[in-house]
Chains A and B, each alone.
Chain A
Amino acid sequence: MHVSRRGFFKVCAAGMTGSSLATMGFAPTAVLAEVRQYKLAHATETRSICPYCSVSCGTLVYSMGDKSRNAKARIFHIEGDPDNPVNRGSLCPKGAGLLDMVHSPLRLTHPEVREPGSNQWKRISWDEAFDRIARHMKADRDANFVDKNDAGLTVNRWTTTGFLASSAASNEPSYLSIKVMRALGVVAIDTQARI
């Protein structure tokens, strides 16, 4: 535990009768009686990024409920993050309506696939989705990888697949995106933030 140099201050029920409120001549009983009408509720404020466009404004997401006690946290307010240098607290009308997207009954919450030749979306698991993507990528890379150019120089290029990095990513995920894609040989790399 990190203890402040000057220690902490304890404002508690047991200390009310000896507090300045009481010794100055006012009755602490009303405050103590009032306390018993209340319960403590848990709330959180969480930083996030607006998912809509490439500007990637910072947001603050307000929720109620204690996640550790089986009560489902309920998001009730989203506003621009005043500390984010991208938007300094402002949001466009679409971003300002984010709360409706969070609670929308039409919101997509799981992966779906539309098989070739089908006109139906089919729900699949996250594992299946990742497997399918990896399988498609490997098949394409195996078929089209260029290890040497016409002059016989080693180039290790994979030119048939491109990568569009997220505009919501901070420095570290962006660094990782580039490292992973370059390692695979991808040369067509761009970011949504440029658009």
Chain B
Amino acid sequence: MNPASSATPGSALNPGLEPPAVIAPPADLFADRAARFERLAAGHASGDWLAFLARLTRVQHELLQQHPAVPLPDAATLEQASRHAMPPLPANGWPRDPVWRRHLATLADRLIPAAPESLRPQLAGLASAPAEELERLAAAVLRTEYDPREAARLPFVAAALQVYWTWMAAQPAFAGLARLDVPGVCPCCGSLPVASVIQAGQYAGTRYLHCSLCNTEWNLVRVQCSACGKDDKVSYRVLEEDVAEGGTQRELVRAEVCDDCHSYLKVVYRDKDAAADPVADDLATLALDILVDEAGYMRSGPNPLFIPGDAAA
């Protein structure tokens, strides 16, 4: 009997079983994320914002559940991408189906009642904006060129694109993707990771990078810089109040900093709390970003639900 078939389903340890290189996004991903946003919002300094993002993510879930079938790359394109170790659904290059603009209109319509007064005209504008303008915003989001002047609109554009790309990434055509030669970008869409996730469950303790666009996760060994690939000057930064409260426990979110390339990316320890989410827990710990930035490190992956302002403004 081989080890795979003898392993107990859901058992924590599988000695000898190699973790998969790539994990496709699960169907209930946005529902779990919305629940996580809701939980984090309670008693949080920016709880109203997190609660609003919970509603946004809830709409993302509904859109994903009712997603229509849209064109996918043909077999020849898939084969070519695989042969050259390129992502098959490149964020920059894949011809976007107009369905994402319908997602955006639905998101805007559904969120207007919950939005702050000042945001409502912007959302109404998004729902009725001409296609060319929306495609221009989409291209900027996908190139991670975040114009602070568009900060209020880009998160919704990104949310709509996330639904579209996540639906595609979850299709059977992309099951069993291989890792790319470069560890720092998504093997499905070529986007940058939002954070690292330490897995719970069957492959407990392994690290996966979580795609900021299509929610695919790909394996990278622990204690290695995901931006430059070096491992000898990697350390972690945590918020000290957490340390005082539970100094013998690992924190739920840490910043993995590299003193070779002076970048950082957060690590979310799902093995400590299985409900932790790379997108929600990231936005609930902006204080960590601000302090790590002041310590001289630059963030290597975006979270497009939060567009930073201009630091010089």
* Residues 55 to 81 of chain A near chain B (Cβ within 8 Å): 60, 62, 64, 76-77, 79-81
Using Cβ atoms and an 8 Å threshold, which residues of chain A touch B155?
Answer: 20, 24
Nearest residue, chain A, Cβ from B295: A40
Closest beta carbon of chain B to A145's beta carbon, Å: 41
Q: Name the segment of A5-13, A135-143, A146-154, A178-186 touching the other chain.
A: A5-13
Are A40's CB and B239's CB within 8 A? yes
The yes or no answer to B291 lying at the interface (CB within 8 A) is yes
Are A14's CB and B312's CB within 8 A? yes
Using Cβ atoms and an 8 Å threshold, which residues of chain A touch B247?
Answer: 64, 76
Closest beta carbon of chain B to A94's beta carbon, Å: 16
CB within 8 A of A45: which of B52, B236, B302, B311? B236
13 residue pairs from A and B, CB less than 8 Å apart: A12-B294, A18-B151, A19-B309, A20-B306, A35-B290, A38-B241, A40-B237, A41-B240, A41-B242, A81-B205, A82-B206, A88-B18, A90-B15
Are A22's CB and B14's CB within 8 A? no
Using Cβ atoms and an 8 Å threshold, which residues of chain B touch A83?
Answer: 206-207, 221-222
The yes or no answer to A122 lying at the interface (CB within 8 A) is no
The yes or no answer to A34 lying at the interface (CB within 8 A) is yes
Q: Name the segment of B98-106, B116-124, B128-136 touching the other chain.
A: B116-124
A92-134 vs B, CB cutoff 8 Å, 1 = contact: the mask equals: 0000000000000000000000000000000000000000000
Q: Give Cα A47 to B224, complex, Å.
A: 11
Are A13's CB and B290's CB within 8 A? yes
Are B223's CB and A45's CB within 8 A? yes
- A: which residues have CB within 8 A of B? 1-4, 6-28, 30-35, 37-47, 60, 62, 64, 76-77, 79-83, 85, 87-90
Are B46's CB and A21's CB within 8 A? yes
Q: Give Cα A87 to B144, complex, Å.
A: 39
Are A30's CB and B299's CB within 8 A? no
Q: Give Cα A14 to B52, complex, Å.
A: 23
Are A10's CB and B298's CB within 8 A? yes
Using Cβ atoms and an 8 Å threshold, which residues of chain B touch A79?
Answer: 205
B291-311 vs A, CB cutoff 8 Å, 1 = contact: the mask equals: 111110011111001111111
The yes or no answer to B286 lying at the interface (CB within 8 A) is yes
Q: Is the interface of B mostly helix, strand, loop or mixed?
A: loop
CB within 8 A of B238: which of A4, A24, A43? A43
Q: Name the segment of B31-39, B69-77, B166-174, B254-262 touching the other chain.
A: B254-262
The yes or no answer to B184 lying at the interface (CB within 8 A) is yes
Closest beta carbon of chain A to B52's beta carbon, Å: 7
Are A19's CB and B306's CB within 8 A? yes
The yes or no answer to B273 lying at the interface (CB within 8 A) is no
Question: Do A10 and B49 form a contact, CB below 8 Å, given A4-B300, A39-B240, A64-B243?
Answer: no
Are A11's CB and B313's CB within 8 A? no
Q: Give Cα A103 to B254, complex, Å.
A: 25
Nearest residue, chain B, Cβ from A19: B309
Question: Do A88 and B14 form a contact, CB below 8 Å, given A45-B236, A60-B222?
Answer: yes
Are B250's CB and A33's CB within 8 A? no
Are B205's CB and A15's CB within 8 A? no
- Other than the known A30-B46, A81-B205, what 11 A-B pairs have Cβ atoms closer than 8 Å? A1-B262, A2-B228, A12-B290, A16-B286, A20-B305, A22-B151, A42-B236, A43-B235, A44-B235, A64-B243, A83-B206
Are A10's CB and B204's CB within 8 A? no
Q: Give Cα A156 to B18, complex, Å.
A: 46
Are B289's CB and A20's CB within 8 A? no
The yes or no answer to B17 lying at the interface (CB within 8 A) is yes
Closest beta carbon of chain B to A108's beta carbon, Å: 25
The yes or no answer to B13 lying at the interface (CB within 8 A) is yes
